[in-house]
Structure 1
């Protein structure tokens, strides 16, 4: 994940390059858009969406930025990935749930 900007009203812009995919198509960089709480700047909550450029699926992430006493930032998230299915009968298996931890490099 590469966050390129967070503007003065909390809008997040960036890109996401995953290493995981269930498609046979080549994995490519996908756009990331979201927002964060702008009140208390310490350990804000946030959410962002990735519309995958190489598949018919979208993932939404929600989480919080935690900063330890040494200044190390960790983004702790939960996500829902919705993949396109052919009929409402397949609906039950179309949404995946998981967690991610992100650290600054």
Structure 2
């Protein structure tokens, strides 16, 4: 074997660890469905209805946390979902017990084991008495929801 060919073979074996590499095709996750009941890490629960033909849905949201002094009550939500196996979506909750509303945007992911997860980011806007207090009117956060079985 020529010295150059030997050097190339040795380099390939060294970089490859001396073993043949195989590549497995990535597993295709199942399709994510928003319809159903979900719970997040704070104990908030939401129920989402079936999507209509244009991807719109409605439902209810019972928060596990609040800054309001009022008793927590279930609130309505409305939203829409894009098409796809792991779709993006957004929805608005108009809180029934406070002068605020929250908008959520997120994506539904399906793991290789079939578990569905909703990863969301939200903005909560509450009413403030004056423009000078606008600076404290909006909060931002994230939540992860798992399907309640």
TM-score by length of 2: 0.67
Q: CA deviation at 1:23?
A: 1.5
Q: Give the aligned CA root-mean-square deviation in angstroms.
A: 0.8
The aligned residue for residue 72 of structure 2 is: 27
1:66 aligns with 2:66: no
After superposition, give the CA deviation of every residue in 1:24-77 in whole Å (9 maximum; x if it has no partner).
211100001000002xx2000000000000000000000000001111110000
Higher helix share: 2
The aligned length equals: 103
5+ residue gaps in structure 2?
1-45
* Higher relative contact order, chain-length normalized (CA < 8 Å, sep 6+): 2
Structure 1 spans left out of the alignment, 5+ residues: none
Structure 1 runs (4+) deviating above 2 angstroms are: none
TM-score, normalised by the number of residues in structure 1: 0.95
1:1-105 to 2 correspondences below 5 Å = 1-38=46-83, 41-105=84-148
Whole-angstrom distance in 1 between the partners of 2:97 and 2:130: 21
Aligned-residue offset at 1:5: 2.2
